[in-house]
Structure 1
Amino acid sequence: MTLEVSYVCKSYAERLAEFIVSLNLNAVPANVIEHAKLCILDWFGAVLAGANEKEAAMLIELFKDFTPKEATIIGPGFKVPAQDAAYVNGAISHMIELDDIHREAIIHPGVPVIPAALALSEKLNASGSTLIEAVIAGYEVEIAIGKAVNPSHYRFWHTTGTCGTFGAAAAASKVLNLTLSETVNSLGIAGTHAAGLIEVFGSSSKPLNPGRAARDGVMAALLAKIGFTGPKTILEGEKGFFKATSAESFYEKGFSGLGVTYEILRNSFKRHASCGHTHAAIDAMLDLRSRFNLKPQEIVELEVGTYKDALEIVGKNYEPKTPAEAKFSLPYCIAIAIIDGAAGLRQFTYENLSKNDVKDLIKRVRVYLDDEINMLYPQKLGARVKVTVRSGKTYEKVVESAKGSPENPLSKDELISKFIDLASLKVGFEKSKELANVIMKLEKLDSVSELLEVLTS
């Protein structure tokens, strides 16, 4: 009761700051530390594979001459100012759509937080334990805020860009070892930087949202450290973040378990290279394809039932023109899944987009709002797939939780295998295995530079 009363007198930013400052890895459960390392591993896979993208090369070229040389851009291996490394690494790690997700917060938590924590950890020669602490702090903060403002926030706002800015500021504050008041200021500054619109989905600007969130989180903490202030009511104030960006009324839903339960454990890991809103449908399609040996030429109709946000975001583009658009086209994802038996990086290419069999099958897909699936959202990102073939037979599959979700998780071995598959596209198989071993022992490193040296050696 005393704890509840004390919260009445404290703003949400103050409560979050108390959590950030008090977080100590020695008091964190072992399974949380292990899961945080898997999140870091998964992020490194995404950023290394993302570094091969055309847009990554464009960003790298733009930033390569920036000084001072403080933190590494993953991939090419050269250094730029810490906040710029956070920006570039944050953007690149979101380019292939294989980074992690927290469903209830509707956020990709790793892409704003980990590059912010990593850049400052490298600049300050911080330990592996400090990096893990910062990542846990960042995840818990951005997820708490994301849960508080959603699902209504997600109507217009890209949570990864908005709430991710707070998460990146929390992680940066932890690495910088800010005081309680400085951390409150850091969150206050982050709130006025927080941005990112859904309208950019399907364009090459989408990855810039987490990149900007990572950079602005670093800047918020650095500004707080030298004396800049921000309002402690940045979240719940009359003109604050909550009321400006959300129609929710019960914000406490995001904060009730803060410091008691760890939301990082409810993270989902992606196995398909497309928007998370497509994954349950892809899983259902792949299952039907495998069990009934379905052939594209036999299919008369593909009906995909989904929830409202998925319908709006990925259910309406039947003529994607670019690989980025294809990742946000549920009709394309379903068509390519049944043709290729996969929805990985190799399936999202201009070559596949131009194929007549893909275009023809897309015309047989119908995406609709399924009331039962919609009722599960956002606790579950489900889908119902029904296939009708020429004989008149129908095959149906409902997937409530895609593979990689907390209810249907990828194993540690599967996540390491995913990492090696992605990282080897940039650094080769042997170095990928070495990097995985180092990351899974991260808390034992005296300096994160030891981790980065594996990449650049």
Structure 2
Amino acid sequence: MGTVLNGDPGAAFETFLRWAADVEWRDLEASARQRTVLVLADDMAAAFSAVREPQVALAQARLRAAAVGGGAASLLSAGRPRVSVMQAAMGNGLAMGWNELDEGYRKAVCHAGLYVLPALLAVGEAENASLQDLLRALALGYETATRVARTWRFPSLKIHPHALLAPVGAAAGVGFLRRLPAEELLSAVAGAATLGMAGPFNHALKGVLARNTWAPQAAMAGLNALEWAHCGIGGSETSPHDVYAVALGANADLSVLAPHADEGWAVESGYHKMNACCQYTHSAIEAVQSLLQREAGLVGGAQVLDIEIEAHPLAFALDDRHPTTTLGAKFSLPHAAAAALVHGDGGVASFDAASLDDPRISRLREATRLIPFEGVRAWPEDRPARITLTTNDGSRLAAECWSARGGPDRPFLDTELWDKLATLSRPYAPAFAATLRRAADAAAGAADTAALSRPWREWLDDIFADSPAA
């Protein structure tokens, strides 16, 4: 059984949810409002990036075929296919997390946007919600998922948070959108905590593709929790603690659930990715890139005989030298370092199907040794890497990165982020980046009430205005 550090877990959880339900869009600072749009844009662009992945394409084709006569919600794909709310939540949830390019949360192991958005986007479109109401629900759903992730922490990562926490984010986001009465909201979100899956964390490391189904399955679970709660069937205020601490052995720090436990909002502590892989590997990729900037002749890796990686504790287990799926490559530190040497970055091509059998990457994976990083510092410098290369002339070259770019301590420039989002979305929705930049500008300002009052469905019309046919 986990340790309760303070207070009554049921009362703490109920107090937090009641407080969150009373938060209005105007209560968020401009920086948090703008960041909420960036979370929305980042996860949607991540979905576009995966449209051509064979498994995603087949899954979405099956959803389209089953949607006889169309539906009330959109798949984020060429031509904006219309399907049911459940089908859209499932198809978009699968695509959003597939390429590991979705936004994540830095203070806990949690991808809160991925947990909230697949269900929220589908319901927001189907129920004609305004952009402002959608964004408020995203910010508060994100706040809920991350507070849960930080309150109940596990001594070791045995169950993946996509499986365990995502139903909570899905139920919370839609519950806030619908402005459910406090008792029904509590029943639904607490009930969703009991619907988590036993998804082993090591399935990500092993590249087992079932891991990519946990977020879409959780979106459906969250939507079902809302339906059950509407019928008077749900969880209790103690359900999250009973699941995470009593049943699964998490340690509880209930102070995290205090309404004003933090300055600012959780969306402001997220991170963005340029590398299409697990964030734990990003510091190693950046260290490789700094070596390539100093020694341009190393690009391609032909001169490298040996790669030594000093890895932080979360990355040390990512030691698979023979990944067999693209997911396995994304969770392989030897692959990440080798691919970065070959390609010069950690983009999609460094982790696609062709990269698995690239002889240059295969050789370098075999030449990689992982050792523990000594002297890891406190957050945000808790995920460092040091790379030492030995070249064929006997030289040894080293570089380190204490905190990868993309988090609140080392954010990307807005221009970098919007360029990324435009590149990922352009083949399917050329107007996507420009449209959501207008949304971000409206969200950051206090006066553009007309834009924020427009239905989310109309914003989708703008996004897909120039979309090619399916």
TM-score by length of 2: 0.88
Task: Look up the equivalent residue of 2:178 and give its one-letter code.
Answer: L
Deviation track 1:69-98 (CA, whole Å, cap 9, x = no partner) reads 221111142222223311221111001110
Q: Which moves more between the two structures, 13-22 or 96-105? A: 13-22
Query: Given the alignment, which residue of 438, 454, 459 partners 1:446?
Result: 454
**1:221 aligns to 2:226 (yes or no):** yes
1:33 maps to which residue? 33
Q: CA–CA distance in 2 between the matches of 1:26 and 1:355?
A: 51
Deviation track 1:91-149 (CA, whole Å, cap 9, x = no partner) reads 11001110111122211111121122211111110100001111011111111111122
**Does the 8 Å CA contact 1:91/1:111 hold for their aligned counterparts?**
no
Q: CA deviation at 1:61?
A: 2.5
Query: Given the alignment, which residue of 94, 99, 107 partners 2:102?
Result: 99
Q: CA–CA distance in 1 between the matches of 2:326 and 2:82?
A: 30
**Does the 8 Å CA contact 1:288/1:294 hold for their aligned counterparts?**
no
**Taking structure 1 as reference, are residues 108 and 414 closer, same or farther at Cα in structure 2, changes over 3 Å only?**
same
1:63-212 counterparts in 2 under 5 A?
A: 63-64=63-64, 65-66=66-67, 69-76=71-78, 77-152=80-155, 155-195=157-197, 196-201=199-204, 202-212=207-217
Q: Which moves more between the two structures, 442-451 or 284-293? A: 442-451
Q: CA deviation at 1:212?
A: 1.6
Q: Which moves more between the two structures, 386-395 or 341-350? A: 386-395
**Does the 8 Å CA contact 2:152/2:244 hold for their aligned counterparts?**
no
**Taking structure 1 as reference, are residues 21 and 377 closer, same or farther at Cα in structure 2, changes over 3 Å only?**
closer
Q: CA–CA distance in 1 between the matches of 2:240 and 2:312?
A: 29
2:3 maps to which residue? none
Q: CA deviation at 1:410?
A: 0.9
- Structure 2: gaps (5+ residues): 1-6, 444-450, 466-470
**Does the 8 Å CA contact 1:280/1:382 hold for their aligned counterparts?**
yes
**Does the 8 Å CA contact 1:286/1:337 hold for their aligned counterparts?**
yes
Q: Which moves more between the two structures, 58-67 or 330-339? A: 58-67
1:17 maps to which residue? 17
Q: Secondary structure at the match of 1:205?
A: helix
Task: Look up the equivalent residue of 2:419 and give its one-letter code.
Answer: S
**Taking structure 1 as reference, are residues 275 and 49 closer, same or farther at Cα in structure 2, changes over 3 Å only?**
same
2:56 maps to which residue? 56
1:244 maps to which residue? 247
Q: CA–CA distance in 1 between the matches of 2:275 and 2:83?
A: 32
1:319-334 counterparts in 2 under 5 A?
A: 319-334=322-337
Query: Given the alignment, which residue of 291, 298, 322 partners 2:303?
Result: 298
**1:43 aligns to 2:51 (yes or no):** no
Q: CA–CA distance in 2 between the matches of 1:386 and 1:13?
A: 47
Q: CA–CA distance in 2 between the matches of 1:388 and 1:292?
A: 13
**Taking structure 1 as reference, are residues 243 and 383 closer, same or farther at Cα in structure 2, changes over 3 Å only?**
farther
Q: CA–CA distance in 2 between the matches of 1:255 and 1:271?
A: 34
Q: CA–CA distance in 1 between the matches of 2:261 and 2:60?
A: 37
Q: Secondary structure at the match of 1:94?
A: helix
The percent of aligned pairs where both chains have the same amino acid is 22
**Taking structure 1 as reference, are residues 233 and 29 closer, same or farther at Cα in structure 2, changes over 3 Å only?**
same
Q: CA–CA distance in 2 between the matches of 1:42 and 1:61?
A: 23
Q: CA–CA distance in 1 between the matches of 2:382 and 2:258?
A: 20
**Does the 8 Å CA contact 2:338/2:361 hold for their aligned counterparts?**
yes
**1:235 aligns to 2:240 (yes or no):** yes
2:349 maps to which residue? 346
**Does the 8 Å CA contact 1:49/1:423 hold for their aligned counterparts?**
yes
Q: CA–CA distance in 2 between the matches of 1:47 and 1:205?
A: 17
**Taking structure 1 as reference, are residues 363 and 9 closer, same or farther at Cα in structure 2, changes over 3 Å only?**
closer
Task: Look up the equivalent residue of 1:41 and give its one-letter code.
Answer: A
Q: CA–CA distance in 1 between the matches of 2:438 and 2:71?
A: 24
Task: Look up the equivalent residue of 1:12 and give its one-letter code.
Answer: A
Q: CA–CA distance in 2 between the matches of 1:9 and 1:301?
A: 51
Q: CA deviation at 1:254?
A: 5.7
Q: Secondary structure at the match of 2:238?
A: coil
1:4 maps to which residue? none
Q: CA–CA distance in 1 between the matches of 2:129 and 2:310?
A: 48
Q: Secondary structure at the match of 1:366?
A: strand
Q: Secondary structure at the match of 2:428?
A: helix
Q: CA deviation at 1:382?
A: 1.7
**Does the 8 Å CA contact 2:387/2:399 hold for their aligned counterparts?**
yes
Q: Secondary structure at the match of 2:383?
A: coil
**Does the 8 Å CA contact 1:100/1:267 hold for their aligned counterparts?**
yes
- Structure 1: gaps (5+ residues): 1-6
**Does the 8 Å CA contact 1:144/1:258 hold for their aligned counterparts?**
no
Q: CA deviation at 1:275?
A: 1.1
Task: Look up the equivalent residue of 1:54 and give its one-letter code.
Answer: P
Task: Look up the equivalent residue of 1:432 and give its one-letter code.
Answer: F
Q: Secondary structure at the match of 2:100?
A: coil
Q: Which moves more between the two structures, 131-140 or 110-119? A: 110-119
Q: CA–CA distance in 2 between the matches of 1:433 and 1:328?
A: 29
Aligned residues: 444
Task: Look up the equivalent residue of 1:399 and give its one-letter code.
Answer: C
Q: Which moves more between the two structures, 401-410 or 291-300? A: 291-300
**Does the 8 Å CA contact 1:20/1:170 hold for their aligned counterparts?**
no
1:3 maps to which residue? none
Q: CA deviation at 1:9?
A: 8.8
**Taking structure 1 as reference, are residues 189 and 84 closer, same or farther at Cα in structure 2, changes over 3 Å only?**
farther
Q: Secondary structure at the match of 1:207?
A: helix
TM-score by length of 1: 0.91
Q: CA deviation at 1:216?
A: 1.6
Q: CA deviation at 1:344?
A: 0.7
**Taking structure 1 as reference, are residues 329 and 434 closer, same or farther at Cα in structure 2, changes over 3 Å only?**
same
Q: CA–CA distance in 1 between the matches of 2:43 and 2:150?
A: 22
